[in-house]
Structures are given as structure tokens and as C-alpha cells.
Amino acid sequence: MTLDEITISRAIISEQMHIMLEYMDMDVAVVGAGPSGLVCATLIAEKGLKVGLIEKKLSVGGGMWGGGMMFPRIVVQSEAKRLLDRFNIKSSEFSPGYYTASSIESVAKLTASAADAGVQFFNLTYVEDVMIKGDGKLSGLVINWQPVEATGLHVDPLTIRCRITVDATGHDAVVAHHVSKKCGKPKIVGEGTMWADNAEFAVVTHTKEVFPGLFVCGMAANAVSGGHRMGPVFGGMLLSGESAAMQILDLL
């Protein structure tokens, strides 16, 4: 077989343009492809809904890749061990209630599960604004290429429409900040200091709809509601993504 460079280029452009046009309208847009966003997107897509996962970086996985201080291991507490098992992530018990897992394997298997469920990934894409019309509900996202933001180019964005948006952008709570700036709510309290035990419980409690059509999960949930940070223990991230998915599925 003789390979033709132009055919290769046409294949990439044609296929991705088809996907982008199809996903101008989607059921759920999850912004942020860290562990909570990956879990949330996967569980929703498994039920047959159209889910797009928007990630600003080139790679997905958020803060999970680096484990703790570049040691590629994470800790998950006993309450979330079942989610490691659900995604076939190997783990071992370090001491009662504390399970360790490879951060690399965790990201890889969460990502593969999302792809298998039908989630479409849009990486190197960032949300620069939101669409809210007369009904007062968040109904779309204004998106652009991340290199446009990084280089400060004046390039107008495009818009996608979605029934539900999930802010899983971590500590920055990007979408919630856009909505708060334009609408005066939700009130963003800001993230607290390190307190793992408190934070792991609070992140699930704070996972909820904070504005019509906008859910928060993961560290974005704690950033909005004033929860603490927890470092490289990731059970709360997995449980938060699951909680957001269950709430959204009930709603839809």
C-alpha cells in the first residue's frame, strides 16, 4: 500500500469536522477532563446520552497524572474503592481503609472507559464565556482554541449548545466564575486550606446544581462552596463525578 499525505490530512479534517458539527448540540458538556470529569462523563454516556468532554490541555487526566509530588501513586479511601474496581484499576491496601493505585493506570483506564462509553473529547479547547438567554438557564458554552488564549490572539470564538454543563475544571472553577461574573451568582466562596478528611466528605456534598443548567464536581465544587483541598487522595474526586452523573441522569 502506498500512502498519500493528502488523503491522511483529508481523513483527519473530514472526520473531526463531522464530529464537531454533530456536537454543536449535545446533552451534557463536561468541562475539565480530570478524574471527576472523566467519571461523570462516562456514567452519563453509558446511558446513551450525547456527552462532550472539553479539556483545555493537550492531555486529559487533570492532576491525577503526577500522583503526589511526582510519585506516580494515588491513594483512595475505602468508600471509593468500589469505583477503582468498577473501572478495573488495580489497587492494594496500604493500611486499613487506604488503597494505593498507579496514577498512570488510573488515568488510562478512566479515559478508555469514557471513550468506550461514547464520550467525545475536545482537547486544546477552552471555555471563554457562557450562553444564557431569557429563561435564565445556562444553555451553551463559548469556546475557542487554547493556543488562541495562550498567545493573546484576537480571534472570535464559536458556540455550542448543551442541555446541562458540568464544571469539572478543578481549583479554577472556570465555568462557575464566568456565570458568577455575568449573573452575580453562584456566589463563589473560594477554596480552603489543606484538610483531607474534611475535603473528601465536602466535595461530594458540594457536588450539585449551582445555577440553572450548571453542575459542579471535583475541586470545582469545593472551590465554589468553600471546601478544603485534599492533595493526592482521589476517592472524593471519583465519588463526586459519580454523584454529579447520578443527579444529572435523574434530571434528564
Q: Where are the domains of the chain?
A: 25-251
Rounded to whole angstroms, the Cα distance separating 44 from 28 reads: 8
> Taking the C-alpha atoms of 129, 112, 97 and 70 in order, what is their torsion angle to the nearest 10 degrees?
-70
Q: Where are the alpha helices (DSSP H) in the chain?
A: 5-22, 35-45, 81-86, 103-117, 146-151, 174-183, 196-205, 219-225, 235-251
Name 127's bridge partners.
143
Over pLDDT 70: what percentage of the chain?
100
**pLDDT at residue 181, as a whole number:** 97
- Rounded CA-CA distance 199/69 in Å is 19
Reported as a single tens digit per residue, the pLDDT across 21-49 is 999 999 999 999 999 999 999 999 999 99
Per-residue pLDDT at 211: 98
Pick from 82, 136, 103, 129: nearest CA to 34: 103
Q: What tens digit of pLDDT does each residue of 226-241 get?
A: 999 999 999 999 999 9
* 170 CB burial (10 A radius; 0-12, 13-18, 19+): buried
Q: Are 43 and 110 in contact (CB under 8 A)?
A: no
Assign 205 a pLDDT band (cuts: 50, 70, 90).
Answer: very high
* pLDDT (0 to 100) of residue 161: 98
pLDDT at 192: 95
Mean pLDDT for all residues in the chain = 97
pLDDT digits (tens, 9 = 90+) for 151-200: 999 999 999 999 999 999 999 999 999 999 999 999 999 999 999 999 99
CB neighbour burial string for 238-248, b if at least 16 within 10 angstroms, e if fewer: bbbbbbbbebb
Model pTM?
A: 0.97
Cβ atoms 109, 88 nearer than 8 A: yes
CA 191/CA 245 separation, integer angstroms: 23
Q: Report the pLDDT value the prediction gives residue 156, as an integer from 0 to 100.
A: 97
Pick the CATH number of 25-251 from 2.60.120.560, 3.40.190.10, 3.40.50.300, 3.50.50.60: 3.50.50.60
How far, in Å, CA of 178 to CA of 118, rounded?
A: 28
For 79-132, what is each residue's pLDDT tens digit? Answer: 999 999 999 999 999 999 999 999 999 999 999 999 999 999 999 999 999 999
Bridge partners for 216 per DSSP: 167, 208
β-bridge partners, 52: 29, 120
